[in-house]
Amino acid sequence: AAAGAELVRVGPGEAGSKLPELGVVIYPEDVEAALGKLPLLSQLGPQQLLLDYDPTRGHGLDALRAHAALASAFSAATTLECVVACDGDLDAELSAVAAMVRQAGLRLDAIAVSPSVDRQSTPPGSAWPACPALEDVYAAA
């Protein structure tokens, strides 16, 4: 401790506010490793599995099946973080994702959709990339 600094003591006290739930992001390519480390994942104790799904990076039915295997093996709420290309009919694009989720047997508690163009930086004064209104993206989800 620095000279003149007071000693800090930490001990049990009254319960305070509840902490937010802890989540772990899982990419399809990491599912096999996560399945092999379930005791370590349990020790971490996440309440949420945030399952990455990005068709613009080649994710498809196999990625969703992998996520389904992890969701079946580990008890936590599941959120599919779904990137959408938004380059055509949103209803058709997201209906196709929903059909694959069902086909994969993936149990979901929530879905978070994000247009693929939102992953890039748009500096101040720059033109925004073409993208449907978020209200339309969310409505299609």
Q: How many helices (H) and strands (E) does the chain have?
A: 5, 4
User: Is pLDDT larger for residue 17 or for residue 70?
Assistant: 70
- At residue 131, the pLDDT reads 81
Mean of all residue pLDDT scores within the chain: 90
* Residue 80 half-sphere exposure toward CB, CA atoms < 13 A: 29
Please answer whether residues 34 and 70 qualify as being in contact, where contact means their C-beta atoms are separated by less than 8 angstroms. Answer: yes
Whole-Å CA distances, 112 to 37, 40, 65, 106: 26, 26, 18, 15
User: Is pLDDT larger for residue 10 or for residue 64?
Assistant: 64
Q: In this model, does residue 1 exceed pLDDT 60?
A: no
% of residues, the chain, pLDDT over 90: 60
- At residue 3, the pLDDT reads 64
Q: In this model, does residue 63 exceed pLDDT 70?
A: yes
Give how far the C-alpha of residue 43 lies from the chain's centroid of Cα atoms, to the nearest Å: 20
* Residue 116 half-sphere exposure toward CB, CA atoms < 13 A: 13
Give the pLDDT band of residue 129 (cuts 50, 70, 90): confident
Q: In this model, does residue 2 exceed pLDDT 70?
A: no
**What pTM was computed for the model?**
0.79
